[in-house]
Chain A
Amino acid sequence: DIVMTQSPESLAVSLGERATISCKSSQSVLFNNKESLAWYQQKPGQPPKLLFYWASARASGVPVRFSGSGSGTDFTLTISSLQADDVALYYCQQYYSLPLTFGPGTKVEI
């Protein structure tokens, strides 16, 4: 199984400041020149919401202050200017191989 790790476990960021979350996979998730890596946002009592697929392709409706990047085994989710609505848990997930696996999550607070 591909093991996904995330850092930090939690971070507190001031409104309007940048938040950066790291995700690492235990092996490459490159498939047909695309990184099989997704990012999700989850708020309490809700299912996860897809933010990015193929590591950097923004899902429909996701604000441009969110960006996804990375390659190989190292990936990053960045919130350029944190808003109150961005307080949530953030997860990365690989879909390169079964079983689909997720990172443990990063809690973003203000």
Chain B
Amino acid sequence: AQKITQTQPGMFVQEKEAVTLDCTYDTSDPSYGLFWYKQPSSGEMIFLIYQGSYDQQNATEGRYSLNFQKARKSANLVISASQLGDSAMYFCAMRLSGGGADGLTFGKGTHLIIQP
């Protein structure tokens, strides 16, 4: 069975600093996809970034980048130049079967608070 571990329950970061949110995963399947979602206090789930297990380069989406270390089974989210609006819960998730349409397995999340 697959598992996602997020070891940082909460983080406080100064505005404009870079943030790294940790995520490790466990699966024996060679084909999988990794996702990060943001959940602000309003409750909606917002997709941020995706990394496929066979992707050669780390994914980037604007201020978000994913530090993918396949051998270590880690997929850390990096937010550059943090903003007050980045304060939210962040969830790492995995989907098996690479590009399939399977459900996601989520980690417990990290509560990020950006301080002015």
The answer to whether A and B belong to the same complex is: no
Q: List residues of chain B with CB under 8 Å of any chain A CB.
A: none
Q: Which residues of A contact B (CB under 8 A)?
A: none
